[in-house]
Structures are given as C-alpha cells and as structure tokens.
Amino acid sequence: AQSVAQPEDQVNVAEGNPLTVKCTYSVSGNPYLFWYVQYPNRGLQFLLKYITGDNLVKGSYGFEAEFNKSQTSFHLKKPSALVSDSALYFCAVRDKDNYGQNFVFGPGTRLSVLP
Amino acid sequence: NAGVMQNPRHLVRRRGQEARLRCSPMKGHSHVYWYRQLPEEGLKFMVYLQKENIIDESGMPKERFSAEFPKEGPSILRIQQVVRGDSAAYFCASSPGSGFRSYEQYFGPGTRLTVT
C-alpha cells in the first residue's frame, strides 16, 4: 500500500533564509511524486512533480525538490523564503507501476515565514 | 482552457437534508477524484471515477455517500441525511486518464459544506 509521511506539522523560517519541507514515501513500485500548496480557503495548487530523469526537480515560485530513492524521500526546498510562501504544503505519491492506484497525500506541513 | 470547476463554493444544510456537490473537470479530462478535508487536516481520498465507471471507492463511507460521473455532465458527490460531522471542504480533481500526462491532477477550488 502507498503512504506518505510529512514528519513536521509546522515549519518556521525567517524571510530570506532557506527552507526545507520534508516528505518520505512508500510505494510497492516506482513512484510519481508531487508537491502541492494550499493557501487559506483555496484549492490545491500544483508546485512540481518527479516522474523520471533528474533527481532535482524545479517547479513554480522558485521551489525545487530532490528525489532520493535510497532514502525514499522527496523534500521540498527553496533557497530564500518569502513571507508569501506561508501556506500549507502537501506531498503526494502515485504508484507508477500500478495504474489503478489513486494518489495518496501526506497530512500536510504548515510553513510560516516570519518577516 | 477553464480549470476544474466546483459548485456551489459554499453549501449550508440542516441535519438530515441532502447535499449535492458538483465537479466539472478540465476539458479533455475523463477521470475525476473526490477528496475531503476536515479543518486543519490533510486531504482524505474518497473516490476515483471515470465516465460511467467507479474505479476506486475505498475511501467512501459505506452509508449515505455516493458518487457518479455520467457520460454527459458533471461528476456529482451526493451526501444523504447529512450530519454535523460531514462539515468539511470537499475537493475535486481531474486528470486526463490516459497517456503520458495521466498522472497529473488538477484541483478545483472546493465546496465548503456546513451542516447546522
């Protein structure tokens, strides 16, 4: 069965500092991995995805994520945080080799960027 | 190209009434997913449908909840005899369903259901 863990409920970082939001996953086959962001009272917005190829994936708004197969991780990073990055971030996984499987989302990590 | 549309955006129902939530997928998308989000919680998968077919309903409560995605028209999530615990945001997402981009999922703005 697929699962996603986001070990931190909350991440606080000062504006201008680098940020990391952690995600680890478990799938029986090969993973498709995603990050989404949710602003208050809004739907989820796609940030980036890993499907194949380079382990470092670049996405929207200056975010990037690194796929690490040995550690089954897909941590979200940004070199310099902005106050406007404050939101709820979700990691998701889908089993590439099992088409009938749906997406599984992590519980979310709330990022607060302090001015 | 319009995105995923959900209506209504806000829905208030009294206990015991029925709630109908609609989702129109992106143009060309044949697969729809429904999720529920309780306040301060993550997304919980409910059901995965393609037109005229339920692919996975493992996340749906056994009673009172049903979903459909007819050949024509939007996908409908129906909650009968609503209770206060049904109060949540319900999100719909769509994907192409086949081909290289079938793994991509695009979310609607959600319907916030309040049961009084």
Average pLDDT, chain B: 90
DSSP string, chain A: --EEE---SEEEEETTS-EEE--EEE-SSPEEEEEEEE-TT--EEEEEEE-SS-SEEE-GGG-EEEEETTTTEEEEEESS--GGG-EEEEEEEEETT-TT---EE---EEEEEE-
A56-60, A75-79, A102-106, B92-96, range with greatest mean pLDDT:
A75-79
Predicted pLDDT of residue B100:
56
- Residue B47 identity: V
Q: Do A42 and B35 touch (CB under 8 A)?
A: no
Residues contacting residue B73 through CB under 8 Å, at least 6 positions apart = none
Residue with tokens 């945080």: A81
The pLDDT value given to residue B42: 77
B52: left (phi over 0), alpha (psi -120 to 50) or beta: left
Side chain identity at A10, as an amino acid letter? Answer: Q
Each residue of A13-71: pLDDT tens digit? 999 999 999 999 998 888 889 999 998 878 888 899 998 888 999 998 999 999 999 99
Residue A49 tokens read as 């995805």
Contact state of A43 with B107 under an 8 Å Cβ cutoff: yes
**Contact: A100, B55; criterion CB under 8 Å:** yes
Determine the pLDDT at residue B96: 82
Question: If you count residue pairs, one on A and one on B, with CB atoms under 8 Å apart, how many are there?
Answer: 53
Spatial contact of B87 and B98, defined as CB atoms under 8 Å apart: no
A42 chain-B contacts, CB cut-off 8 A: 109-110
Spatial separation of the C-alpha atoms in residues A70 and B60, rounded to whole Å? 34
The predicted-structure confidence for B51-101, as pLDDT tens digits, reads as follows: 999 988 888 998 999 999 999 999 999 999 999 999 999 999 998 876 656
Ramachandran assignment for B81, one of left (phi > 0), alpha (psi -120 to 50 degrees), beta (any other): left
d(CA B86, CA B17): 12
> Which phi-psi region, left, alpha or beta, contains residue B5 (left: φ > 0; alpha: ψ -120 to 50)?
beta
- How far away is chain A from the Cα of B41, in angstroms, using its nearest Cα? 7
Interface test with A, best of B60, B105, B112, B114 (most A CBs within 10 A): B105
Distance, CA of B60 to CA of B49 (rounded, Å): 12
What's the pLDDT score for residue A111? 97
SS (H, E, C) A37-67: EECCCCCEEEEEEECCCCCEEECHHHCEEEE
Give the helix/strand (H/E) hosting B83. Answer: none
